[in-house]
Amino acid sequence: MSITMGQGILIAIWAMIAGLDCWLQAFFIFRPIIVCTITGLILGDLQLGVIAGGLTELAFAGLTPAGGTQPPNTVLCGIMTVVIAKANGTAPATAIGLSLPFAMLMQYILLLFYSSFSLFMSKFDKYAAEGNAKAFKRLNFVPLTIVTLSFGIVAFLSAYAAQGPMHTLVTSMPQWLTHGFEIAGGILPAVGFAMLLKVMLKPQYFPYLLLGFVMSSMIPFSNVLPVALVGAVFAMIEYFRTSETNELRTEIKGLKDSSNSGGGYNDGI
């Protein structure tokens, strides 16, 4: 399948929306599970978008910007995973590995913006010293516009303009190399999930993880919805149990504070 001009423009518009959200960290629609799903909808294959989104989201689960450190860009990786899988008929796991160069390209562009946008600081300081609020607000839109257009341009060139060379590259790869990308793409979600668990997993929550693994891997289900519902039940139980414990601790603390405030039988109360 070839990407049409209309689809390329829609992908560019979607990349600008998700890219702006990625820069502002506002609504988190830049996450791969959303980016891939919408891209699959644009290309007319929603199922592929959802599958690619789930795999790519797991691959990026433990990666987040920290200070000046930028991981490979999730927007371009999500878009190109679906584009490569749809246009070349490759498996989503293989497409993840092939989309990483595009994600790294956008990563370096964003790092360049982080450095170059410091040139605006003198103007910001000047407007702040003058009390020129209108000019200060207008200047904020300049870097936002640059970032937004950059996402659209890179996505359009990668998804539409470069689809011919990309198709030639993918079809000319030997079987062993394609299989290598498939294995790497299959490992990345596990690595991303392991990085997330390294930060978030606590010993008291390990039984839930073990139970979910047993249910999803060893019990034959037609889909994983029952596992998700059981997980939601345990999450609700843990939430209400924690809430009750916190309320009890608050009441005990209140009783201790009242007993230490001088009240009691000595005051005639």
Q: 152-195, pLDDT tens digit by residue? A: 999 999 888 877 777 677 677 777 777 776 777 667 677 767 77
- Asked if 54 contacts 82 with a C-beta cutoff of 8 angstroms, the reply is no
194-233 per-position pLDDT tens digit? 777 777 778 888 888 888 888 877 877 777 788 888 888 9
**What is the reported pLDDT for 101?**
86
Q: Identify which of 229, 186, 234 has the alpha carbon closest to the alpha carbon of residue 208.
A: 234
CB atoms inside a 10 Å sphere around CB 168: 11
Name the residue ranges covered by the structural domains of the chain. Answer: 5-200, 202-260
Statement: residue 268 has pLDDT above 60 = no
Interatomic CA distance for residues 1 and 231, integer angstroms: 39
Kindly report the pTM of this predicted structure. Answer: 0.72
3-state DSSP assignment of residue 66: strand
pLDDT at 260 over 70: no
